Structure 1
């Protein structure tokens, strides 16, 4: 009896989600059924998703780089394309490296980097208290520290000139484009995690401008951006005295700008 009941429930939920505009309704129905603790709980989960709440907020987690990352309501949902930022950063990390995840949101990138490299000193920071609480649930078990505050001002002063890898998935959507984002994002994610100012570059400017003060000689800054904005992002890094390179992934449909602080050579 249970198998037919399950199938009926699955198909009914799929139809409900599809009518609400969920593109991956069948897969989402399976995830909601697996998460439900009772029939009544399942009904609530389905209604939340059908009302437009992001699936990750309904489930309480998002899959990122093969891990389940806790994502609380009101916290920016890590995108699959940001896995490319994490993978590019992981290539540069050596055991014992000092790593900073700036504008960390849920802490997905920092958590992924802690899993990818042994023995790193991991710090993360975000200006949003809700995101900081969520990031501590993810990064704390990985041995990292999460700081609350505005960009570099959140970090311990002892990190100045010591950071080997600095990653930033800063907001880069132009203010006038926020209204064109999917409702899931613009209605349920914090504006501070989306709005990059008039041209989308306001936060990136600030990150690039101070990066040389925090990077160790030979240290790297990696910023996620759009393909259209990448040349401007690269110019910001070069203006700050870093070398800059744009890399792109067709698989992830993602663009990252890598900056490097040159090592000091003494005669």
Structure 2
């Protein structure tokens, strides 16, 4: 059912607020800027009220002060992942060799490029749509984006040479995916959300691989839920890494850092 077009902003805000959009005023301004005709605006509003993520409608997402291009179906970068970027910057030395696993749109990779000035930087994701999106976002930086499962597509010669590995891997337990907001569970790839029975299935494999790929003194930084940190730190320790946990209450975010002993 098409939402009737209204040319005035207050009416648009009321429509969005009635549909449950928390930041209705901001969304109204963005949709008005994105539409070049009343018909286009009516279509955008109709799709937004039906549950399509705002970022997929706009074709971009804001992350760490950057505008990141976004394709339909690709994981929308969350504001809380800014903690992962900050944690990585805090532990990494000058001119690091960096790989961003589960890179999605490449948003974290872009933020790291700006914060760290790495000597070389690469990204990887298993989802073909995400890889295509990331390649477009990172083309100007000449950053390679590999398609494949975690470390598998990376050149073998990089083993033991990485100063930093970051991974915003999926960590939602399988049973909880159905409880996520429709914007996520209906419009983002399941492979970007489902972390297995306890949410740690992918992160366990990241931890196991990082011990081989990190240089001595290098760091792994991942995002997780606060309730998962005990089990995750145990996995990292078992993999030969030294973990630490960082929380940010304002972002409602948790990052886990793990160092490979020198």
| Aligned position for 2:173 | 174
Q: Deviations over 1:118-175 (max 9, x none)?
A: 2431110000000000111122222311000011102121211111010011000011
Tell me the CA shift for residue 9 of structure 1. Answer: 2.0
**SS of structure 2 residue aligned to 1:37:** coil
CA contact under 8 A between 1:114 and 1:120: conserved in structure 2? no
- Distance in 2, matches of 1:120 and 1:44, equals 45
**SS of structure 1 residue aligned to 2:170:** coil
Q: Deviations over 1:51-103 (max 9, x none)?
A: 10000101111100000011110000010000110111122333421111101
Q: Deviations over 1:16-70 (max 9, x none)?
A: 2112111111110001111112222222111111110000101111100000011
| Aligned position for 1:207 | 206
Unaligned runs of 5+ in 1: 1-6
Change (3 A) 1:97 1:187: same
| Aligned position for 1:160 | 159
Q: Do residues 196 (structure 1) and 195 (structure 2) align?
A: yes
CA contact under 8 A between 2:98 and 2:120: conserved in structure 1? yes
CA contact under 8 A between 1:151 and 1:207: conserved in structure 2? yes
Pairs aligned (count): 257
Two-structure CA RMSD over aligned residues (Å): 1.3
| Aligned position for 1:142 | 141
CA contact under 8 A between 1:115 and 1:142: conserved in structure 2? no
Q: Deviations over 1:206-226 (max 9, x none)?
A: 110111110011000011000
| Aligned position for 1:10 | 9
| Aligned position for 2:98 | 99
| Aligned position for 2:52 | 53
Q: Do residues 30 (structure 1) and 26 (structure 2) align?
A: no
**SS of structure 2 residue aligned to 1:241:** coil
Shift >4 Å, 4+ stretches = none
- Distance in 1, matches of 2:128 and 2:232, equals 27
Matches within 5 A, 1:186-265: 186-263=185-262
TM-score by length of 1: 0.93
- Distance in 2, matches of 1:174 and 1:198, equals 5
- Distance in 1, matches of 2:144 and 2:92, equals 18
